[in-house]
Chains A and B, each alone.
Chain A
């Protein structure tokens, strides 16, 4: 089975900064990656799918990129409300494996 590895495990960023987090697949997954945001005590929310498509009403400061095995979620001008865990997921073919997550803290 494909393993999804996220880095870093956590990061602390100031409001207004740009943040980049990574997701690496153990095999080629083409563009079949989604990103989710989960705030404390809440259910996950879909942010990005098929690498770079924003889901409904997701702010355009969230951008996804990559192909094959290496993928990136970028948040431009981070806001306080972006503090959360972010998970990547391999989609399209089961098992629909998630990465272990990146925790984003706001200073």
Chain B
């Protein structure tokens, strides 16, 4: 059974940093690109970032590019999202998600339960 478990969310002041983690299990981690998707309170879904199966390539939505860094440790089957220079508009539940297949444009077939990040003074 595919499982994705996020952690690391919390309350953080504007301008500060936070690092999220996502532990994956139940599938061959190195076969899949992965992604982060966020959802602001009472709002819709927003793709944040994607990382290739080997971690060699990552890309981001414009509003987080240069502030967020997506990485993975394939030995630990774990993803990381380093979020720097946080803004109030980054407040959201952050989900890690696995693509349906090897292609990083396929749909998000599996989702974690999410971790809430609140950016506020």
A residues with a Cβ closer than 8 A to B are 32, 34, 36, 38, 43-46, 49, 55, 85, 87, 89, 91-101
Contact = CB atoms under 8 A, between A and B. Distances in A.
Interface residues of B, number: 22
Contact of A101 (B35, B44, B59, B105): B44
Contacts, number: 60
B100 A100 contact: no
Interface stretch (B16-24, B72-80, B107-115): B107-115
A32 B106 CA distance: 9
Closest 4 CB pairs of A and B: A34-B107, A43-B111, A92-B105, A98-B45
Contacts of A99: 44
30 contacts: A32-B105, A38-B45, A43-B95, A43-B111, A43-B113, A43-B114, A44-B37, A44-B111, A46-B100, A49-B100, A49-B106, A55-B109, A85-B44, A89-B45, A89-B108, A91-B106, A91-B107, A92-B103, A92-B105, A93-B105, A94-B59, A94-B104, A94-B105, A95-B47, A95-B61, A96-B35, A96-B47, A98-B44, A98-B46, A98-B47
